[in-house]
Structure 1
Amino acid sequence: MFKKTNFSTIFPLSVEQCSLFVPMALYFVLLLAALLLYVPLHSKEHGVTVIGRIHYEGFSDSKYYNFQNNNDFKTIEKFNKHKLLSPPELLESIFLKVDKDNDGQLSIDEVSQYINLRTQEHIDSAMQENYGLFMSIDVDPRNGLVSWEEYHKYFLMQNGLSEDYANKHVEKHSSLDRVLKEAISRDKASWSEAARNDPDFLTLDEFLAFRHPESSHITILGLVEELLDKLDRNDDDILTEDEFAQLKVGDNGEALLSQGEKERREEFRTLVDTNSDGKADRKELVMYIDPKNPRHAKEEAISLVALADTSHDGKLSLQEVLSKVDLFLGSKMVDTARSFHDEF
């Protein structure tokens, strides 16, 4: 009834030939589709390499471009999977994150909690990243120390220079642009401060102090020493409430503290003297100075609200935030990493 179809007349290929032809045909179809849909990950805009249009939360358009031009890789904290945002768009997106109760206003507590969260994330990330970077640089030889030569080679290659140049460069870098030379000078100064045991080598802890001083216990201990040097009048390595609260005058007659005595006493009782024994030892001072202490976030939140709250209601509207773009872009609420590095 039905005429038998001879498939060999339609498909003159053998089974073995088909098994080779069909996958190859599919491969070329997929390759063609990939080429047609291809979007380059690297594009040039205004002479700046923009990588995949991924924007680091914390940089406005102009700062983002400066960041790329300066090759300031030390400030990278993390990248958000957002399109490149303008400063107002960036601030609005962060505003919505901070506004936990969705009432359209930011309270001091909301700003403080968000800054404290970003601070914790930044410091934890810095400490984790530090170990991996240290181990990747410590190669010539691998001896548990990073030399200036090892780090400087890494720095140059991270900034787009060839391995050949990194290995054979002249010390003055006469062919480099001014911005990169200034970055090298800053690194040398920071290296000298961090290198406590040997000026040419850094241990793992010193390397953390070099790249992320705000995350380093060594840095915090150094700040405790400075505080004791300024306020500890009887040199017993303990601060009393009177020593902390009463203004000390510098060599040139300038006041070293800007707060009034009443405020300093209140601060000592509530934030410094955690065991309420009327004095603060080194452990308490370390906790007081530690950037992860929530008091720092609270102080910055109070300052931000005071500077931007034009309605004087103790809260921030989106419009008030947008009216102070530069203030917020430079704060830990937006750019935690750069704010810390500016301070230290």
Structure 2
Amino acid sequence: MNKKVVLIIPYFGKVPDYFNLWLKSAERNSDYTFFIYTDLNFKVDENSNVKIKNISFDELKERIKSLFGNNIKLKSPYKLCDYRPAYGVIFKDDINDFDFWGFCDIDLIFGNLNHFISNEIFENYDKLFYHGHFCLFKNCDKMNYLFMKKYENVCDFKFASHTNYSCHFDENGTVSYAYENEIDIKQYFKWCFYDVPYNSYKFITISSQYEKYAYWNNGNLFMCDADNNKNEIMYIHLQKRKMSNWLDIDEKCNSFYILRDEFLDTKNVNIYDILNFIDINRQNIFDLKTKNKRKKQILDNILSGALIARLKSFKQK
């Protein structure tokens, strides 16, 4: 790949579970650079393509206020999702040497990005993908300031940045609808990843004879089932799913399975026996936690101004 690409990841709170596996999969994509802005002590080799940028959440908040005014709302790190499309401006000084910049989540495992994003795609498109868990923009003024535009019946940056409610501006705002409104913006999208349903213990919610699982092998990632059906994917998004056994996958491990709520080293494991057995107790615990998380999310949304935000959005339409 002859394009220089950087993924920008502000992260605050606590070191996430299975960061070691996210890191392993990110480092296998050596053509890509990852900037993690954080005040946490991430253990990353200095020669890694994953770079740690030390900054506190309050310092980042002040940087954003200096750009967009003191009245912007940024109560918690989760709200940063509404500022992701502005990262080209917020982190401008750090990304000058890159051809593309973007953002991604840490609750995912990468496959081989080069198998899905070619030089030709970079040459012919301004924006690649549109989900909050992975999205890329050409590093130019047209795309870096795209978030400032306004379209009819679409959430704009001023609205999203002046409410404590998380509007998911990275997916539902101006930049997601730009290709419909701007004739000179070309967006590339292909459904080449797997988005695990957050509310299902199994990896698949539709009626299926076979349970799905993912297989990471030397940087390549596949979705598989017990009938030996296999297809390569760009990444798997686990949507903050609580996973276990991630500490059992050491640095020397070159392959592992991802299924339901755990990671498994492929050594001495019969994946088909595991697929054929579902621990009902673990499934019940998963379902209960999912319901409780959803209740908490609804309450948090209400307290942060969701009803007012949605009412204003309705009036706009």
Identify the TM-score tier after normalising by the shorter chain. under 0.3
**Hey, which of these two has a bigger chunk of helix by percent?**
1
- Radius of gyration: which is bigger? 1
| Relative contact order, higher structure (CA 8 A, sep 6+) | 1
- Scaled by the length of structure 1, what TM-score is found? 0.23
More strand by share: 2
